A = this chain, B = another copy of it.
Amino acid sequence: MTSLMINHPINSMASSVIRTLSQSQHMQLPMLRPTRMHALAIKSDLEIMRQQMVVVDDDESYAMKGGEGPHSYAKNSIIQKGLIDGSKRLIHEAISQSFDPKEHVHGNDEPSKPICIADLGCSTGPNTFFAMQTITEAIQQQFQSHGLASQIPDIQVLFNDQVSNDFNTLFKNLPQQRIYYATAVPGSFCGRLFPKQALHLVHSSAALCWLSKLPSEITDPDSSACNKGRIHYTDAPKEVAEAYATQYSKDMGNFLHARAQELVENGLMLLQFPVSNVLLDSDVDPAKVFELIGTCLVDMAKVGVISEEKVDSFNVPLIYPSVKAVKEILRGCDECFSIEWMEILEFKNMVSLPTVQIFISWFRAALQGMIEKHFGAEIVDELFERFAEKVKEFPDIMDTDKLKLDVLFVLLRRKNKPRP
């Protein structure tokens, strides 16, 4: 919204600099672009900023399909019935046990500060809106049950996802009857997104399973972890799974390190993400689905629709870690976070058996962006038609009883920092 005639002009050279800079999707060390005049004065700040702030604008994993069309996330994320109720109970209990409203109430003179809640990996809605409604209601009830109903501070929700996420759709569909101020923050949650100690509660549902990038060795022909002819670590040599696990561990470490700086002391983090619980040979690995999609791509390469090299260089940056691996990673951050609660939810209790068409839609909403980028938009329809045929051949992939997938719910608390 800007006047007709009174806008900030820039010269076209400066404009082209901006555009060139923004073409790369990585921003490792934000800094001032100093003019000659300011270069010296700013140098010391620059050093400070370099040390303090590492922002990653976006990473290799792709945002969900935007908009509200038939293949969009907005239209293909409402089918997984059951999980919202499961997580609702856990969120209410977690906040009831661990969120202290007295920390947010001050004397008459001091203005009450807003409660800031971030949802990391929010996509376009509506799921994020339900989660935020659950959390804000639970917080309200905490104030009420402590006799502080009249002193509830303003609540600000910060919706975060990749820069490539469709935030326009998110904003358009914000619930009208929300009781919070809505804000969006673009960028990868493996880096810093918020100022120091700006958050009171972090929520992330079903997002931490995406790697920030694919391990380079899986596309390196000279590496034993090279993943030729497959698009995931399922049924791949163990070196491939190890490369995924190493990247996951790095990402989780970066995630926890960034949040440790952004959360206030005693701040809470509610995380939910899928984990694998494959124990027996007869179990269906939840990542089996990528093996099926991989064979579709190999078939398409055989008939010349796409090249073999393209298939070899494509991998899905998603991991279903074991609970044991997650626990180890969290133990590595126990100086910053205490584990307040950990609960395994069985996927089969949350999601009823979908139809083939619905099952395909879930994966299309999630994968379409990265498939289009790698292979081109023209192959997407054929790929998912072939995938549907494979799913019909192997219906166990949709059988939530046989699929060894769980959901891990974790509540972490930011520990107090040691005082000097």
One digit per residue, 1 when the CB lies within 8 angstroms of any chain B CB and 0 when it does not, for chain A 16-43 equals 0011011010010011110000100110
Q: Is the CB of A149 within 8 A of B44?
A: yes
Judge whether B171 and A163 touch: CB under 8 Å: yes
Whether a CB of chain B sits under 8 angstroms from the CB of A255 is no
Cβ-based interface call for A363 (8 A): yes
**Contact of A335 with B by CB under 8 A:** no
The answer, yes or no, to whether A375 is at the interface (CB within 8 Å) is no
Closest chain B residue, CB of each to CB of A33: B177
Are A207 and B2 interface neighbours, CB within 8 A? yes
Min CB–CB distance A211 → chain B (angstroms): 11
Question: Whole-angstrom distance between the alpha carbons of A41 and B137 in the complex?
Answer: 11
**Using Cβ atoms and an 8 Å threshold, which residues of chain B touch A114?**
195-196, 198
For residue A380, give the distance in angstroms from its CB to the closest CB of chain B.
16
Contact across chains for B154 and A196 when beta carbons are under 8 A apart: yes
Asked if A185 lies at the interface with its beta carbon under 8 angstroms from chain B, I say: yes
A6 CB–B CB distance under 8 Å: yes
How many copies of the chain does the oligomer comprise? 2
Which of chain B's residues has its CB closest to A61's CB? B1
Interface residues on A, range: 35 or more
* Residues of chain B with a CB closer than 8 A to A194's CB: 156, 181
With known contacts A3-B207, A53-B179, A78–B15 Cβ distance under 8 A:
yes
Note all chain B residues with C-beta closer than 8 A to A166.
Answer: 168
A8 CB, min distance to chain B CBs, angstroms: 3
Please state if B126 and A10 are interface contacts (CB–CB under 8 Å): yes
**CB-CB < 8 A to A33: which residues of B?**
133, 175, 177
Which of A81-89, A237-245, A298-306, A386-394 is the interface stretch?
A: A81-89
**B45, B137, B209: which contacts A140 (Cβ < 8 A)?**
B45
Beta-carbon contact of B84 and A205 below 8 Å: no
User: Could you tell me the distance between the alpha carbons of A105 and B366 in the complex, rounded to whole angstroms?
Assistant: 45
Residue of B nearest to A194 (CB): B181
A8: which of B5, B49, B77, B187 is its contact (CB, 8 Å)?
B77
Q: For the complex, what is the distance from the CA of A137 to the CA of B42, rounded to whole Å?
A: 9
A420 within 8 Å of B (CB atoms): yes
Q: Roughly how many angstroms separate A163 CA and B210 CA in the complex, as a whole number?
A: 29
B1–A63 contact, CB under 8 A? Answer: yes
Known contacts: A41-B141, A174-B186, A176-B21. The answer to whether A273 contacts B30 by CB under 8 A is no
Chain A 110-138, CB-CB to B under 8 Å as 1, else 0, gives 01111000000101001111110100010
Chain A residues engaging chain B, CB cutoff 8 angstroms: 1-12, 14-15, 18-19, 21-22, 24, 27, 30-33, 38, 41-42, 44-45, 48-49, 52-53, 55, 57, 61-64, 66, 73, 77-84, 87, 108-109, 111-114, 121, 123, 126-131, 133, 137, 140-141, 144, 149-150, 152-156, 158, 161-168, 171-179, 181-187, 192-198, 205-207, 209-210, 272-274, 286, 289, 318, 347, 350-351, 362-363, 366-367, 405, 407, 419-420
